[in-house]
Structure 1
């Protein structure tokens, strides 16, 4: 009878633990799906005996919140459970993904190489990690070891080749497309990545063939085509494609503004104004689109229109100031660019932004007053003074201001001298 009571108590405890584990799992999935990874991590740390699913979810949460703290946590959990039966293929894949997201490529490679049983998702996690860590050549090499890739691996290959555009990458993309286009290359995401890779490798004609032959053209495919046309300096085609889209999103509108900026004309300006008028009160135009809008107005020489938009914006981000400053330089009003710089120079974001300082130096070069030039140099953080583009611009600025000795001093301190540096000194 005592034995029966003990068994009954153990059974209740087991059911209670299972119930708690189930609730924790459901909650963790919800936190991760709603992009609240820290709550999933906190929840995991309250569970005394996590199951394999909870461990996998922890790895997913840490991948979503990459940091040294997340990296240390996944490594400690891995060390604790690596010799148990809890870590299946899903957990190993999630662990690789977490390591890669946290920038620990070396340990991800070690784990992958030591795994006796490698499933396709593990290859995918490695390839994606290589791409995220700007190591596309390693992703390409890994793909070529896979005998029967699935669509996800093919998509990742296209992304890697887009990140490493070359004749070799183009041939690999086209050969893969030819081999698998009737079997695996079906989804809109894969076709979008294919178009992007072809465009990045400079083969607009093949990208056009893929796009034209596709039965269902998604908005992302239109975006890849427009972006590709802009990259290959075929902005007229990007503009023509925009006109075929009934309901553009913010990415498509941003690309239109970029295309019009690349092809400045009265016609482009009229189109930009029409699109701005149509969508200015909608929620479509986010910071990127508004920055591109300002740039398009400036490139089309409508400085007043750009200023009107800029001054009315309730929320201004640093790239918007950059677009205005760049526009002022283009339109030969450097003093306006310097006025903007003075408004933002104490902002924390400005003090680490290479582009803003480059524009400011170029504005000072146009004005060519030595005292103004020195005031700008005094503002530039020391680490940016080591940048080769900053140095080249400083040489040009001092030369135009008639301060030859200061130009020579910058030139002498260059760690590596490129053709621009020599040109600036000549």
Structure 2
């Protein structure tokens, strides 16, 4: 009977009532098995429906599964209610305790996660791991280190992986001290664990410790695709695109989408004869492997823009345009990249044609780029070249100081991000320096005191010049800048790196 019902579930993927189908013991087994199958197949709502239907026979296993479903669904109210209804026996269950921490961390309720953690008498590596993972996902690596200082057991491989990720995320003196200490002390423990070693490579690359990252990479006996991608991404982030391409050509494994993105980014940075040859070879041989992945195609389009390869960029754009899986925003972003290609070659008529015709074909006009920021209780909105704010004179004076510092530190304003002709009374610097993102950042710098963390929000994707400039501004001014754009959250650190790893 049990096997028959499970087979029925596997074939139909439907919820069925089992309360009268078998004995209590058998029913409990079926509920357990069905809950797991629903969770494994991503049917989280149905798992909760079954949990409610069989409330009288739910075991700790089912409660744990239901909490995981709430976590996946971000169903905060349901999860809170479930914890309130837990028996004292269930509250002491290690798996339920771990799932509760995961739930609260996923819902960004750090206080309740800490509360649950503090009630646990015997804290295992799994319990610490739930907290560590939560701190990383909530961009709180300092909190992870604070808890690590109080940890009374030795971290296992899973937690070492979290520690290395936190070190890479924070990337300051404390992170370097902790990361290097654990890598030195635990190297023998992890030498056969590719997952942890790959995280160590990622961490060392963030530290700009190329030599030790290469040493760890060579130490890995069976290098997987993530070993190669960690090294290649690190090389690109550290402005070593040649080394990334060297490793790509030596790699004996079939590339995945991440490898393609990193390789295209390396080719974009290098943009010489070798890069053009490698980039075009990938497009000739492997396009069908990633033709449905917009992120890879967008990286390829950006590469072709850097190559000034109009014909190929047009062809790739047409491929993107024909794909039903891409959104209008994706198509508009690709259109703007193509505009940039024409503009960088001085072909402004073609750029204007794309801007005025193709974007309209997608059923909308390009939105005006707007950036918001809050300082000293004032919420301010900027658009490009905006002079409407009462402190505009001070803002533009600060922009001039920022621009002078950027140029002194080697920044070159990238004209490929200008999609219209430059007027006689304009320069590339004056156009790009007045983008709304830079205005918002300058506004924060004229506040007293200057905010310890500058936070801005943009309704469109950040442009490449603003992204590069913001990395350098954060490094020069020794501050953190958080930019939430239409695509992701960018955390610019005082070491000049961005959390997106230049995948914007």
Asked whether 1:118 is paired with 2:97, we answer no
82-91 or 170-179: bigger deviation: 82-91
Asked whether 1:307 is paired with 2:286, we answer no
- Equivalent position SS for 1:118: coil
1:170 pairs, out of 157, 169, 176, with: 176
Which string of whole-angstrom CA distances, capped at 9 and with x for unpartnered residues, describes residues 276-311 of structure 1?
Answer: 110122357622111111011111111221111111
1:54 pairs, out of 46, 57, 62, with: 62
Q: Counterpart of 1:196?
A: 202
Asked whether 1:134 is paired with 2:143, we answer no
Asked whether 1:151 is paired with 2:157, we answer yes
1:274 pairs, out of 270, 281, 291, with: 281
Say if 1:161 and 1:60 are closer, same or farther in 2 by CA, change over 3 A.
same
- Equivalent position SS for 1:181: helix
Aligned-pair Cα RMSD in Å: 3.2
Which string of whole-angstrom CA distances, capped at 9 and with x for unpartnered residues, describes residues 242-268 of structure 1?
Answer: 001231112111111110001111321
Asked whether 1:288 is paired with 2:295, we answer yes
Asked whether 1:408 is paired with 2:387, we answer yes
- Equivalent position SS for 1:45: helix
- Equivalent position SS for 1:144: helix
- Equivalent position SS for 1:408: coil
Q: Counterpart of 1:25?
A: 32
Q: Counterpart of 1:420?
A: 399
Gaps of 5+ in 1: 1-11, 358-378, 396-406
Q: Which has the higher strand share?
A: 2
TM-score after normalising by structure 2: 0.67
- Structure 1 distance, partners of 2:261, 2:139, is 25
- Structure 2 distance, partners of 1:89, 1:346, is 56
Say if 1:131 and 1:337 are closer, same or farther in 2 by CA, change over 3 A.
farther
* Number of equivalenced pairs: 372
The answer as to whether partners of 1:52 and 1:91 remain within 8 angstroms in 2 is yes
Q: Counterpart of 2:485?
A: none
Instruction: Please report how far the alpha carbon of residue 86 of structure 1 lies from its aligned counterpart in structure 2 after TM superposition.
Output: 6.1
Q: Counterpart of 1:320?
A: 334
The answer as to whether partners of 1:200 and 1:228 remain within 8 angstroms in 2 is yes
- Equivalent position SS for 1:143: helix
1:249 pairs, out of 247, 252, 256, with: 256
- Structure 1 distance, partners of 2:336, 2:215, is 37
The answer as to whether partners of 2:342 and 2:350 remain within 8 angstroms in 1 is yes
- Structure 2 distance, partners of 1:417, 1:174, is 43
The answer as to whether partners of 2:301 and 2:334 remain within 8 angstroms in 1 is yes
Write the mapping of 1:230-241 to structure 2, written as runs, cut at 5 A: 230-241=236-247
- Equivalent position SS for 1:75: helix
Which string of whole-angstrom CA distances, capped at 9 and with x for unpartnered residues, describes residues 359-379 of structure 1?
Answer: xxxxxxxxxxxxxxxxxxxx4
- Structure 2 distance, partners of 1:304, 1:265, is 18
Computing the radius of gyration over CA atoms, which structure comes out larger, 1 or 2? 1
Asked whether 1:45 is paired with 2:52, we answer yes
Instruction: Please report how far the alpha carbon of residue 327 of structure 1 lies from its aligned counterpart in structure 2 after TM superposition.
Output: 3.5
Instruction: Please report how far the alpha carbon of residue 345 of structure 1 lies from its aligned counterpart in structure 2 after TM superposition.
Output: 7.6
TM-score after normalising by structure 1: 0.78
Q: Counterpart of 1:361?
A: none
The answer as to whether partners of 1:223 and 1:252 remain within 8 angstroms in 2 is yes
- Structure 2 distance, partners of 1:97, 1:312, is 41
Q: Which has the higher helix share?
A: 1
Instruction: Please report how far the alpha carbon of residue 321 of structure 1 lies from its aligned counterpart in structure 2 after TM superposition.
Output: 3.8
- Structure 1 distance, partners of 2:125, 2:196, is 17
The answer as to whether partners of 2:232 and 2:244 remain within 8 angstroms in 1 is yes
The answer as to whether partners of 2:194 and 2:220 remain within 8 angstroms in 1 is no
The answer as to whether partners of 1:51 and 1:86 remain within 8 angstroms in 2 is no
Asked whether 1:258 is paired with 2:248, we answer no
Say if 1:243 and 1:107 are closer, same or farther in 2 by CA, change over 3 A.
same
- Structure 2 distance, partners of 1:128, 1:45, is 29
- Equivalent position SS for 1:217: coil
Instruction: Please report how far the alpha carbon of residue 171 of structure 1 lies from its aligned counterpart in structure 2 after TM superposition.
Output: 2.5
Say if 1:63 and 1:332 are closer, same or farther in 2 by CA, change over 3 A.
farther
Instruction: Please report how far the alpha carbon of residue 14 of structure 1 lies from its aligned counterpart in structure 2 after TM superposition.
Output: 12
1:100 pairs, out of 105, 110, 127, with: 105
The answer as to whether partners of 1:52 and 1:86 remain within 8 angstroms in 2 is no
